Amino acid sequence: MDTVNYEKTSPTAWITINRPQVMNACDPPTTDYIYGCEQDFDKDPDLKVLVLTGAGERAFCTGMDLKAAAARIASGGPVSNVVPPYMKTDKVTIAAVNGYAVAGGLERALACDIRIASDNAQFGCFEIRRGLPNPPDPLIRLVGFGPALHMLLSGELIDAQEALRIGLVTKVVSAQELIPTVEELAARMGEYPTEVLVATKKAAFAGRDMTIEQSHLYARASSAPLRDSDISREGVTAFAERRKANYG
């Protein structure tokens, strides 16, 4: 599809929103195709890590295509005729954020497990500017009630360094270093066993709604089948033998 580039270089898949002329805003066909790519990634056993990014230097994604929405309104249609389905996968997802990540674009970044930003990245909850409601979760869970509420109600932009300070992103690099940095991270995680990546992510997300003791017990129980498996045996043996582990 012209508006989305989907590439699979096992063990990594890349989804690049390719509408730079509208700052990678998404119309319904683009949104549907992105979701289809995410489902394909989730089902492909050879893929472990998904990277989501935007084409060009100006924007990661600016959410709903408002010009397309205005055209629908003018013809008697709804503001939006699609509810963006964000990815649900036990595999690892990374947002490589270049430029603006606002409104639904910020939501797409929040749907990823890890967010790495270029130093020109900017983030904002622009829905309030357009008279649209905005779901407060997962922003509140990620950065805390105060910073999240400020973003949700003010519609103000924050830059990459402020996003790093409040925990919205985990790393900030130059625009030139963004893709190489994400490529390196994805390749490194792609060497780890899928089963361990999945178990770790599941335990992390499940534990958010538990007490510390419950989270600890859940993590131990869910990881028990792996703790004396061929996977863990290979990892320990490879370390002892000073060689790279081969997880098959």
Give the CA distances from residue 66 to residues 5, 80, 151, in Å, rounded to whole numbers and listed in that order. Answer: 22, 9, 20
User: CA–CA separation, 8 vs 50, rounded Å?
Assistant: 9
- Give the number of residues written for the chain: 248
User: CA–CA separation, 117 vs 99, rounded Å?
Assistant: 8
Strand order in the sheet with 12-17: 4-9, 12-17, 49-54, 92-97, 114-118, 171-173
Q: Which residues are catalytic?
A: 107, 127
CA 186 to chain centre: 13
DSSP 79: S
Output the DSSP codes for 132-188: -----TTHHHHH-HHHHHHHHHH--EEEHHHHHHHTS-SEEE-HHHHHHHHHHHHHH
Strand order in the sheet with 59-61: 59-61, 100-102, 122-124, 157-159
Strands (E), the chain: 4-9, 12-17, 49-54, 59-61, 92-97, 100-102, 114-118, 122-124, 157-159, 171-173
